[in-house]
Structure 1
């Protein structure tokens, strides 16, 4: 029941605060956005049944931050997030796992996995600034990930399968719940 309440709260928050909320005066855009919202709600239901409770809580927390503005160097919901600040914040506040500050460092301290092995909660990395690990997001499932994209935008969900993200995808990583003794992230 607790998980259903969390998912419902996240969906309600998404519906009222995210860029997916339908504008009052634009019915065509409203229909498209309503469809996007329905798709996100369906993804939330899939997440509930396919992942453990900790991961579900982490992803639920991430979804409540949809619409928070991008801020370079940002790491809080109050001031805004950049991509790695968003990932760090979600892992630290939801499961108590402190990740390094930069995307490249986050890739270094996590376990490399094949794209076909992606599970909700894994990290996805992209080359968006001529650096292999210059952007990071959190995989949600069904080809979707949540991230803080860039200046002028806000935390949102995107699809790995779009041409833009497919072309820039540089790897997937899994975060260990507790770092191994030889991990640089101790």
Structure 2
């Protein structure tokens, strides 16, 4: 088996593991990625695949065959076949407003006019199918490619909505608002996974994307290293008294939280108040005054603008889902 076949086999095995493993997909930090970041991360898996004129598969790509393939297979977005055709769609974007996933176009390479396309990967870098190095990362300031730059287009729009959240759902406004603001995002293939559980680490990151607290120090817990993806967010929540750790000096970032815990945390994060009129408006039969999370539960239920928290039961001991968390954050933000 040659080197390329070994690389491809390893990649396919990794894809099968991520696709088939519910623990991996539910607990992955990729839940924080935008659609554009998902597209570029998927595209980077093909680094080193050779350039083949007319190529549209992992055996070999040309520029537009590559962009067409990764957009379709990572996010379900269909692009036209050629660079010239791809340039005619989407919304024009200036260099100063580029986001990962934007298409970058070049002119006058092997023919006059629009003749090449890549994908912006962030940090002034383009994921590019080059004839010399195959799929590689190229600086926007590259001596050759920089001089050929012709513009950028954004094809990731509101039309690229999650396949598992209907626009008729009562949670749509909350999820759309938070994803538009990049407070919470989805997984591969445009899935939001509304029923997936929220971990303590993810909760810290989501809340801090709203509050934007800069911690005085990064590490407070023996199980959260300074290099951990959510370390600064966890430290910020600790210092603000929003999400505390355990008596053994651990934070347990991967642990899931109950709906009771979620309500208490969101109440502290947004300084929500529980009033007597609010309590009278909530008809839950499974929660009573005096419960440790009572004030938070009443606050998030009485502030609900979506109808998600209506009904006669709160089910506080059940795990908090991404959908429940998104709606509660959305309602809390509306009070600020």
Whether TM exceeds 0.5 here: the answer is yes
CA distance in 2, matches of 1:130, 1:113: 24
Is 1:153 matched with 2:133?
yes
CA distance in 1, matches of 2:94, 2:34: 24
Is 1:53 matched with 2:34?
yes
CA distance in 1, matches of 2:152, 2:36: 17
CA distance in 1, matches of 2:133, 2:143: 19
CA distance in 1, matches of 2:38, 2:94: 24
Give how far 1:60 is off.
1.3
TM-score under structure 1 length normalisation: 0.65
CA distance in 1, matches of 2:50, 2:141: 24
TM-score under structure 2 length normalisation: 0.37
Among 87, 112, 115, which residue is 2:95 paired with?
115
Among 107, 124, 130, which residue is 2:104 paired with?
124
CA distance in 1, matches of 2:104, 2:113: 12
Instruction: Count the aligned residue pairs.
Output: 132
Alignment correspondent of 2:52: 71
Alignment correspondent of 1:97: 77
Alignment correspondent of 2:253: none
Asked if 2 retains the 8 angstrom alpha-carbon contact of 1:111 and 1:176, the reply is: no
Give how far 1:163 is off.
2.1
**Structural mapping, 1:6-85, within 5 Å:** 52-77=33-58, 79-85=59-65
User: 1:157 is paired with a residue of what secondary structure?
Assistant: strand
Give how far 1:89 is off.
0.3
What's the C-alpha RMSD, in Å, of the aligned pairs?
2.4
Asked if 2 retains the 8 angstrom alpha-carbon contact of 1:72 and 1:82, the reply is: yes
User: 1:134 is paired with a residue of what secondary structure?
Assistant: strand
Whichever of the two has the greater Rg, that structure is 2
Give how far 1:65 is off.
0.3
Provide, for residues 59-112 of structure 1, a one-character-per-residue CA deviation record: whole Å limited to 9, x for no partner.
1111110010111111110x2000000000010000001100000100101211
CA distance in 2, matches of 1:141, 1:56: 9
Alignment correspondent of 1:165: 145
Asked if 2 retains the 8 angstrom alpha-carbon contact of 1:71 and 1:82, the reply is: yes
CA distance in 2, matches of 1:113, 1:56: 17
Give how far 1:142 is off.
1.0
- Structure with the higher strand share, 1 or 2: 1
User: 2:117 is paired with a residue of what secondary structure?
Assistant: strand
Structure showing greater relative contact order (alpha-carbon pairs closer than 8 Å, 6 or more residues apart): 1
CA distance in 1, matches of 2:149, 2:138: 13
Structure 1 unaligned spans of 5+: 1-12, 18-47, 180-186
Structure 2 unaligned spans of 5+: 1-6, 12-28, 161-336
Alignment correspondent of 2:223: none
User: 2:130 is paired with a residue of what secondary structure?
Assistant: coil
CA distance in 1, matches of 2:33, 2:104: 19
Is 1:88 matched with 2:88?
no
User: 1:65 is paired with a residue of what secondary structure?
Assistant: coil
